[in-house]
Structure formats: structure tokens, C-alpha cells
Structure 1
Amino acid sequence: MQNRGYLRVREIVAMILIIVGIKLSDSTPALLTQNVQNALWLVPMISCVCIFPSFLLMLYLLKKYKDKNLVQLLEEILGTVIGKIIGFIIFLFAFLSIALDSRNYVEQIKILYYPEGPSGLIFLVLFGVVFFGAKKGFEVIGFSSFIALPFIKVSAFFIVFLVLGNLLVQRIFPIFGSGLSDILIEGAAKASIFAELFFILIAYVSTRETDIFYKGSILAAIISLFEIVIFYFIYITVFDYNSVEKIAFPFHDITQFVSFGKFFSNIETIFMVFWLIAAFLKFMILIYLATWIFGAVFNIEDFEPLLLPFTFLIATLGTLPFNSIINELQFRNYLLNAMTPFLILLPVLLWLVALLRGGLRK
């Protein structure tokens, strides 16, 4: 059931809020804190400043070259061969990002909730659900995201409300942590934490009017940044940077501070349910987008049969790192550093080529 062009702005906003906003609940804070200490909450703002203009430029180009998705735009501006090569590189980035993130989420489920469960079985269950959800098609995924989003966000910000009494604002000082230069370097290097904004551009023509996608994606990106900054600020002020850099999953640790009184225990399990829903939807969206990009590169219109082998490959690659520390601090760190200059410079290159060829006069 492929997309027929029925998505509305609310579905686009919901999907972006899930695939980008969920970074407030994974191990990204622990990765960023290694170099910036208590200035963790400033890094996403620097990253957004670095990459958001390129994202807006890409949206501008898609608006100029009407009725084209990401790969078609690359081929139109750079030519078929070069466009397909760059499209395939974007697919590899998306594919590897999903694989490395999958290990992150499986480790969270295993360590926090099923310490005796084998990782392979957790991978099987997680991606079994993800595959059957993705197989329903992009419209169903979008509508499901819209339905689930209010519950996911209300549960997340309910946590914020309940932990306000545990904040110690003095922990953000000194404001620039290990130094302003470190913040700027780390923020610029990790700008690709917003890479999903580029991956979803393959679905640019998935709405009846492209202006809907344009407005929805910008709105969702701004809201996601706001959410991430709030939660990173809370992690620093509830724990402190020494603790955050050693805590792999600060979102789940923060739920330990939530209490409804002595008669209610293990309240964090309630929040786990909504986090799991968000995780399932995230991987459904990203696997579908990665497969869509691959199909566009190789001119495969009916690409949905590829969802099963790609889901299997992602789950297999996710099991390869020896442990979650190597996965996060080495492989994922290298991938983010590699994606950043590519995603920032690609729209500029496309704009220059389009300008020289006169394509922007259309």
C-alpha cells in the first residue's frame, strides 16, 4: 500500500516530531556530554543553526522543481548518474543510522526491563512489529503517528512537570561548560543529529499540495528542537554532567524521580509503554523512508517488497557491535561526524549548480 498523496500537515508534523524529537530519550545526551560537559543543552541549538539553513535551502529547491522527491531533484540538477550516486550515499547514511540506533534501543529494553532476555530475541520482536507496521504503507504510518503523538508528548512532558522539584539550576554553570570553542565544534560536528529532516524529503510529494509539506516540516523541526533543548536542560539540572556522561539512558533514569506517592510503585513502566510506541513508530517511518530512497535510486516503483530484507539486514547489522559503548562512542559518533558536512554542503552544491544552469528561473 504505497503512498497515494493523501497525507496532511498533521501527519507530516507528527512523523517528524517522532523521528527527530525522540532523540530526547535515547543515548545522544551521553554522547554529546563527553566533550561539552554541562553545556549539553546548548549543543542542539548550535547544531540546528548549522544545519537548518541547508534544510531550508533544500526545501526551496524542491519547491522550485515541482512534483519531485529528493532523489528526483538530485537527478534533475546533477544528472542521472551523479544524482543516483549521491542518492545512494543518502540511502547508506539512512540505513546505517537505523542499524546503529536499533542497537541503542534494544540495549535500553534489555538492560532496563528484560536483563535476562537475549538480545537476538528482542531484536526479533522489535523489528517484527516494525516490519508489519511499515508494510501497511506510508499513509497508515502517518495516521498512526498522528493518533499516537498526543499520548507520547503528554507522557513526556508530564515527566517534566513531576521532576521540576528536583531541578538544581546552578548545575548549568559555567554556561559554556568546557569552553565556548568546544560547544561550537561539537555542535557543528553533530549537526547531523537532525539528519532525519533530510531523509523524509523523499516523501516531499506525499501531500496533495507541496506547501503543506513545506510548512509542516519547518514547524515540526522547530518544535523538535524546543523539546530536545528542554529535556537536555533537565538532564543537566537534575543529575549534573558527570552523571549524564556516564548514564546511557537519561530519559529512563529521570523517570525514577517520578512519584505518585508511596502506594504507587514502578511508575516508570507506564512511561515505558509510550516510549515503546514512539520507538516502534520511529523505526517504521525510517525503514520505510530508507527503502523508498533505495527504490527511487534504482527506479523500483513497487519498493515495498524490499521492506522485509532491509528490516532483516538492519537487525543483523545492529547486533554486530561488541557492546553498546562501542556502538555509541565509536560507530555512531563517526557516522554523525561523516554525515554533517555532507548534509550541510549538499544543498549549497545543488543550489549553485541549479543557479548556473538556470534552473532557478523556472
Structure 2
Amino acid sequence: MQNNGFLKTREIFAIALIFVSLKATDSTPTLIAQKTQNATWMVPIISFLLILPSFLLMIYLLKKYNDKNLVELFEAVTGKWIGKLLGLVIFLFCMSALMFESRNYIDQIKVLYFHNSPMEIMFFLFIGVVFFGAKKGIEVIGFTAWISFPIIQFTAILVIVLISGEVIIQRAFPIFGSGLEQVLTQGYSKAAIFGELFVLLIAYNATKESRMFRKGLLLAAFVGLIEIVVFYFVYITVFDYNSIQKAAFPFHDITQFISFGNFFTNIETVFMIFWLFAAFLKFIILIYFTAWIFGTIFNLKSFEPILLPISLLTILGGILPFNSGLTELVYHERLLAWLSLFFIAFPIVLWLIAWKKGELKA
């Protein structure tokens, strides 16, 4: 389970891109559209620009403390206990992402394809597959992400190409939707949608050279942003501003428009297969990195045994909310707003502490 430094740039790139870009296919655009309407596609750009300086600052600090991962960096800069507290915040962010997002994916699968199946059984099956995938370790996860990367990206591009005939550019206007102030506010409060980039920093030493990790992660961050913006733009130009607010599962809704004639029907099911495979990979990565963070906080020699209790907690936390719409549109939105401030501010505080201690001198 422990890292042996065998990952390559391409594997870090594939892991990070799959991990981040799936924000384009969940219910996040619907959440953003509640306030920004047809300017939804602009929000990820603002969020990314706000969080990017802090993320680059973290990369800089990790480069200075070359033998540290994310949690070890916290402890080196702020001291043991404060560092562990910061690590715990990241861990809780991971757990909340596991619970909220897994429930969202299960709701999509149930509503769209398995109406009569018990949600609890579907949850156990979904997280069960994720658990056994995570047990294979970081090298197998990285290899699997890389070999599946081309087909996942091809499928995403194919959806964009096939749906392009339904795009009406005029629906992107007025360009600022419900107003520039609202767009800027949502851009700030949704900055945490890119908080998963910080989670990946726990694997900073997972490559033979740290330069390989930085190159793969930064490239994936920019490519992931482009994919998210393109999909969000397609959503708001295929649907009008009223419809995008009510589209609970916009990715699956646009696949309903795709047709190859009368002979080939239910084409959306084909795209669902690849979407579901990408979702499994995303949660395998997330649950593995969550356990890795927990193991580092509590100085565990092996964090493999933590995967099972984290999986069970994910199921328990995911099935508890009776009203998933209220959970997504109220509680999840508030959590994103609180964490956005944290991810923007804490790297700056870390840098100031390290600079004050004189540890950033060349």
C-alpha cells in the first residue's frame, strides 16, 4: 500500500484529470445555475483563478520541503499539533466529498436506470467495488487511470461533437446571466470545487522525481478546467436559463438528445457505461487518498486497514439524508462556501509562517 515512488508523469496526469474533470458530469452545474443562470460556465474560471495562486504556493512550499507530503508539510511549518489539525480539516473535506458526491451518483443511477432497486443495496455495491479497487494500491490505480484515460476522454469529446448540433449560442446571453456581482460571488464561494487538487498533494513523493509530479498535476489542472468550462457552456447553450436550473443531471440530459437514427436507440446507455467507469475510478482515487491522509495524520505504518471503515462511513453518511435535493442545494453549498475560504487562505498563512521562520531562503 505504501508509496514506492514508481508513478510517472502520465499516471499523475491521468489520476488528477479523472479526479477533477468529473465535476463536469455531476450535479455541480445545476447547483451553480441556481444563482448564475446562463453564466454558469464562467463560475469555474473565476473559482480556478482565485484558488490557483494558493495552489501554486502549496507547490512552491512542497518544493522547498522536498521530502514532505501534504500533511508532513503542515507539521513541518506549523508544528506537530496544528499541522495535524490542518490535516484533519483536509480529511474531513475528503469524507464530506465521499458522502455528498457518492449519494449524488447513486441518485443519478437510481433515477435514470434502476428505479425499483433499493438505494441501500446500490450504495453497498458501488462502494464495495470502490473499496476493492482502492485495495490494489497507488501503482495499480495509476496504471488503470492511464490506460483508461484515452477511452474516457474520447467518449467525452464524442458527446460534445454529437451534441454540437443542439447548441444555440444565443442562449449564452446576457453574458453575465443574473449579474456580474452574482457571478463573482459564486466564483468565490465555489472555489472549493477545485479543492481536490490539494488532496492530491498527499502523493507528492509518489514519483521518482518531484518535478514529474508537479508537471503532471499542473497540466491536469488546466486541462480539467477547460473540460469543465466546455461542458458547462454546452449545458447552458443546449438548455435555456430556466431549464438548466431544473436539470438535476445535465450530463445525462444532454445525452438524451444524441441519436444515430431509428435503428440505434437508447444511445445514452452507452455513454452511461463509460461515465460509470470513470465514476468508479474517481471514488477509488478519493477513498485511497482519504485513507492516505488519515494514515499520515496518525503516523500509521500501513493505512490499508483504514479503507474498510472509511468505506462503511461513506455508505452510512450517504444514505442518511432523506431529502437528497435539500442536502445538495443547501448543506453542500454551505460547505463549499466555508471550504473555499479555507483553501484560498491557508496556503498563504503557511507561506507567511515559513517565511517568518526563515525556511524559504535559497
Q: Same fold (TM over 0.5)?
A: yes
Q: Distance in 2 between matches of 1:166 and 1:269?
A: 19
In the other structure, the counterpart of 2:130 is 130
1:285-324 alignment runs, 5 A limit: 285-324=285-324
Matches within 5 A, 1:329-344: 329-344=329-344
**Alignment match, 1:201:** 201
Q: Which amino acid aligns with 1:122?
A: M
Who is 2:143 aligned against?
A: 143
AA partner of residue 88 (structure 1): L
Q: Is the 8 A contact 1:103 1:327 kept in 2?
A: no
Distance 2:80 2:188 in 1: 31
Aligned partner of residue 277 in structure 1, secondary structure: helix
Return the alpha-carbon distance in structure 2 between the equivalents of residues 228 and 240 of structure 1: 19
Aligned residue in 1 for 2:177: 177
Work out whether 1:153 is the aligned partner of 2:153.
yes
**Cα distance in 1, alignment partners of residues 241 and 276 from structure 2:** 26
Q: Which runs of 5+ in 2 are unaligned?
A: none
Q: Which 4+ runs in 1 deviate beyond 6 A? A: none
1:4-60 deviation per Cα after TM superposition (whole angstroms, max 9, x unaligned)? 110001111111111110010000010000111100000000000110110010000
Tell me what 1:356 maps to: 356
Match of 2:257 in 1: 257
Work out the number of aligned pairs and report it. Answer: 362
The answer to whether structure 1 residue 4 and structure 2 residue 10 are counterparts is no
Tell me the SS of whatever aligns to 1:259.
coil
Deviation at 1:323, TM superposition (A): 2.1
Corresponding letter in the other structure for 1:317: G
Q: Distance in 1 between matches of 2:33 and 2:313?
A: 31
Aligned to 2:43: 43
In the TM superposition, what whole-angstrom CA distance separates every residue of 1:324-354 from its partner, at most 9, and x where no partner exists? 2012101211111111010111100000000
Task: Indicate the RMSD between aligned Cα atoms, in angstroms.
Answer: 0.7
Q: Is the 8 A contact 1:41 1:232 kept in 2?
A: yes
* Paired amino acid for 1:263: F
> Which digits, 9 at most, give the CA deviation of each residue in 1:117-147, with x for residues without a partner?
1100110110110000000001111111111
Question: Residues of 2 paired with 1:312 and 1:143: CA distance?
Answer: 26
What is the SS of the residue equivalent to 1:248?
A: coil
* Paired residue secondary structure (2:246): coil
Residue aligning to 1:213 = 213
Sequence identity percentage: 56
Residues 97 and 335, structure 1, Cα contact 8 Å, conserved in 2? no
Residue 118 of structure 2 aligns with an amino acid whose one-letter code is: P
| TM value normalised by structure 2 | 0.99
Displacement after TM superposition at 1:2 (Å): 2.7
Please report the TM-score for the alignment, with normalisation by the length of structure 1. 0.99
Give the SS at the match of 2:360: helix
The one-letter amino acid paired with 1:219 is L
Q: Which amino acid letter does the alignment assign opposite residue 346 of structure 1?
A: F
